Structure 1
Amino acid sequence: MKIIVPMAGRGSRLRPHTLTVPKPLIPVAGKPIVHRLVTDIAGVLKQDIEEIAFILGDPAFFGDDVIRSLEELAKGLGAKASIYRQLDPKGTGHAIMCAEPSLSGPAVIAYADTLIRADFDLDPNADSVIWTKKVENPEAYGVVNLNENDEIIELVEKPTEFVSDQAVIGIYYFKDVGILKNELQYVLDNNIINGGEYQINDGIKQMMAKGKIFKTGTVDEWMDCGNKNVTVETNQRMLNFLHADGEKLVADSANIENSEVIEPCFIGEGVVISNSKIGPHVSIGKGTKIIDSTLKNSLIQNESEIKNAKLNNAMVGNHAKFDGDFTTISIGDYSVLE
């Protein structure tokens, strides 16, 4: 089994946090988004992963440190890491084709801006499985249209009339991803463009037209990391799941003095907390110092310093300094507010 991860986007909706760090490497509940996503997918598949192909953007932004992180991720799952580049943002279908040498055999394609919780078996009779989540407002999403055999016969983007309440979350399984590759090549060769880009959906529609069987795999939880507010909310939800799973969330090397920690919280290596009240639902990256502060529902990255703060629904980047009265803040790496 292979996992293909297109992640070339710059994450503009999550700025300023993505000005220096690619969005898939932003930590949520102590682990980068792409690390959590790929690890959780591998757990759902219950199969050996032989290769993980990452499609990155500009090397000036997705540099050697990013590659090292992804290689370590793949190695930890017993897989080979393959690195590809999408230097021209021409859409989801184009991004997948940038990994053309890896497009053979069974594979999962997963876009690295969401997190999931799921437990299901892949349908052995399906040529493809599109992972979905039941939503209350399907008109805001791309949804699947099912026939009487629960097979997907159509993908409908933001339907004005009810089609189904199963929203496509951006994770796909193909029994042979080489078939999708051939159809996407047809899309590229014939300049089939939607929304100004080459889309994976057009390759999928070609497969459906040729009688390939598509089924749904429904996830229990689907968490977005598109902007600051939903990322903080996703951090909160993920902490709840990890706490319920009994995962260790507070590093032994953390130094907590005269402070209260209300679970669930993630506290990384070398964190110093003094005269403060932390939690619930706070993640603090390694080496950060929290002094004379009250924090809840917040996401603080590595090597930052927070003093005299009362933060709620806040997101603070790496190597930042904050000393002040603001409550709901979003400041990026190396920012200083004193």
Structure 2
Amino acid sequence: MCSSEERVVAVIMVGGPTKGTRFRPLSLNIPKPLFPLAGQPMVHHPISACKRIPNLAQIYLVGFYEEREFALYVSSISNELKVPVRYLREDKPHGSAGGLYNFRDLIMEDNPSHIFLLNCDVCCSFPLPEMLEAHRTYGGMGTILVIKVSAELASQFGELVADPDTNELLHYTEKPETFVSDRINCGVYVFTPEIFTAIQDVSSQRKDRANLRRVSSFEALQSATRSLPTDFVRLDQDILSPLAGKKQLYTYETMDFWEQIKTPGMSLKCSGLYLAQFRSTSPNLLAGGDGLKSATIVGDVYIHPSAKVHPTAKIGPNVSISANARIGPGARLICCIILDDVEVMLSFIQLSGGSLPLGDGPVSRQVVYPAGGDYNAKLGVTILGEAVAVEDEVVVVNSIVLPNKTLNVSVQEEIIL
């Protein structure tokens, strides 16, 4: 049990505009962390999960975006959750652990007993209170959220081995070339403040090694060129791997869903996972309809209160419709994300298999065919950028069209730059 005096802070790593290029073109006009999944910004889901942590004092967002890009959202979510949310901009890359250490003085202002660290681009149920309870029982410096995946997928992530009885982390390796384990790192952690000492030790060791090099040695100079900066510390290679097997780190396995949001196709899959989760956590966010005075709703659907949906439209499953969107008579929307101010007007329009129109402007007289459900495929979805015009009778299949383009011929499995 936690003491009523103990306080907890959460840090969410949101990356920056130079990262996440695989998520383009969805991130061309909006920061990736603010792209909507199930009607809420991507970063909103981990933030909402943090709200459930006992004695939460503060939430920090750390990234490389300009502060103005997050100012409005940070103000809004702070008022909504009644928990202070603050954006901290990194001046240069410090690594996943170095970025945390760079803001240690601010993070420690509330004298927290525990610090949660979450990556923004993961989609899961975020069992944070359960993690914290397990972490207190283990008594170590940190606890990592892990999940079991297929052996084929495991090599794409950090693989780890844990003691089956104590859950102590025994071995950790990042994206190994050969199979190590079917348990992987989910990118969600809870630490005691001792994590800062561990990060500082890595920096100090680097400085000591640098001072021992002979400047006159050509070989040493070559080595120094390849070495990392002393203040650049990676959480996986520099902290998790060396501390494995030293009774400092433990694991908490989730049996629920987990995905990493790296590509446009994964955004659609994760939006569906969050919509399904709303059934138990936030049923008030899911739309309903009878097909008479309101649109027919099939499965899990989110519709923003300001959106206008014609009663003859049929929506779902896995559809999220954002603010001020207009869905016209007879429209059939399946498995898609409709962003702000998009207008779907004609009755024979079908946006299916993962069509994500971006920005404002009408989507006119087009058919977007199903993508076959391969969310990881490079062209596994159809994406229409902001102000894209698709002329009459044009068919778009499994293609990505960047903003401000006009399509007057059909395209299939192409990227239109």
Please classify the TM superposition score into its range, dividing by the shorter chain length: 0.7 to 0.9
2:186 is the counterpart of 1:169: yes
Check 1:109–1:74 CA distance in 2 against 1; reply closer, same or farther (3 A cut).
farther
Say which is worse superposed, 163-172 or 151-160, in terms of deviation: 151-160
Say which is worse superposed, 268-277 or 185-194, in terms of deviation: 185-194
Match of 1:321 among 337, 352, 362: 362
Superposition deviation, residue 269 in structure 1: 1.5
Equivalences for 1:219-298 in 2 at 5 Å? 219=254, 220-245=256-281, 247-250=283-286, 259-274=295-310, 275-291=312-328, 292-298=330-336
Superposition deviation, residue 161 in structure 1: 4.1
Aligned to 2:351: 311
Match of 2:169 among 132, 152, 173: 152
2:37 is the counterpart of 1:28: yes
Is the contact made by 2:23 and 2:32 (CA closer than 8 Å) also made in structure 1? Answer: yes
**SS of residue paired to 1:159:** coil
In 1, the alpha carbon distance for the partners of 2:283 and 2:30 equals 26
Say which is worse superposed, 197-206 or 285-294, in terms of deviation: 197-206
**SS of residue paired to 1:248:** helix
Aligned to 1:82: 86
Is the contact made by 1:8 and 1:86 (CA closer than 8 Å) also made in structure 2? Answer: no
Aligned to 2:204: 186
Check 1:76–1:172 CA distance in 2 against 1; reply closer, same or farther (3 A cut).
same
Aligned to 1:333: 386
Is the contact made by 1:251 and 1:267 (CA closer than 8 Å) also made in structure 2? Answer: yes
Superposition deviation, residue 303 in structure 1: 1.5
**SS of residue paired to 2:272:** helix
Aligned to 2:236: 201
- Report the structure number with the largest CA radius of gyration: 2
In 2, the alpha carbon distance for the partners of 1:221 and 1:166 equals 14
Superposition deviation, residue 22 in structure 1: 0.9
TM-score by length of 1: 0.86
Q: After superposition, what is the alpha-carbon deviation per residue over 1:17-54, rounded to whole angstroms, capped at 9, x for unaligned? A: 111211111111111111111212442xx312111121
Q: For residue 299 of structure 1, what is the amino acid of its counterpart?
A: I
Q: After superposition, what is the alpha-carbon deviation per residue over 1:192-221, rounded to whole angstroms, capped at 9, x for unaligned? A: 649xx7411244248717945211122222
In 1, the alpha carbon distance for the partners of 2:206 and 2:27 equals 30
Computed over aligned residues only, the root mean square deviation of the Cα atoms, in angstroms, reads 2.9
In 1, the alpha carbon distance for the partners of 2:250 and 2:134 equals 9
Check 1:314–1:256 CA distance in 2 against 1; reply closer, same or farther (3 A cut).
farther
2:70 is the counterpart of 1:66: yes
Check 1:279–1:187 CA distance in 2 against 1; reply closer, same or farther (3 A cut).
farther
In 2, the alpha carbon distance for the partners of 1:70 and 1:212 equals 37
The answer for unaligned runs of 5 or more in structure 2 is 1-7, 211-226, 370-380, 392-417
Aligned to 2:124: 116
Superposition deviation, residue 91 in structure 1: 3.2
In 2, the alpha carbon distance for the partners of 1:211 and 1:77 equals 38
Q: Per chain length, whose mean CA-contact separation is higher, i.e. which structure has more relative contact order (CA < 8 Å, sep 6+)?
A: 1
**SS of residue paired to 1:101:** helix
Aligned to 2:57: 50
Q: For residue 337 of structure 1, what is the amino acid of its counterpart?
A: V
Q: For residue 384 of structure 2, what is the amino acid of its counterpart?
A: I
TM-score by length of 2: 0.71
Is the contact made by 2:278 and 2:286 (CA closer than 8 Å) also made in structure 1? Answer: no
Match of 2:149 among 130, 135, 157: 135
2:337 is the counterpart of 1:299: yes
Is the contact made by 1:184 and 1:200 (CA closer than 8 Å) also made in structure 2? Answer: no
Spell out structure 1 runs of 4+ moving beyond 6 A.
Answer: none
Say which is worse superposed, 98-107 or 315-324, in terms of deviation: 98-107
- What is the number of residues matched between the two proteins? 329
Q: For residue 330 of structure 1, what is the amino acid of its counterpart?
A: I
The answer for unaligned runs of 5 or more in structure 1 is none
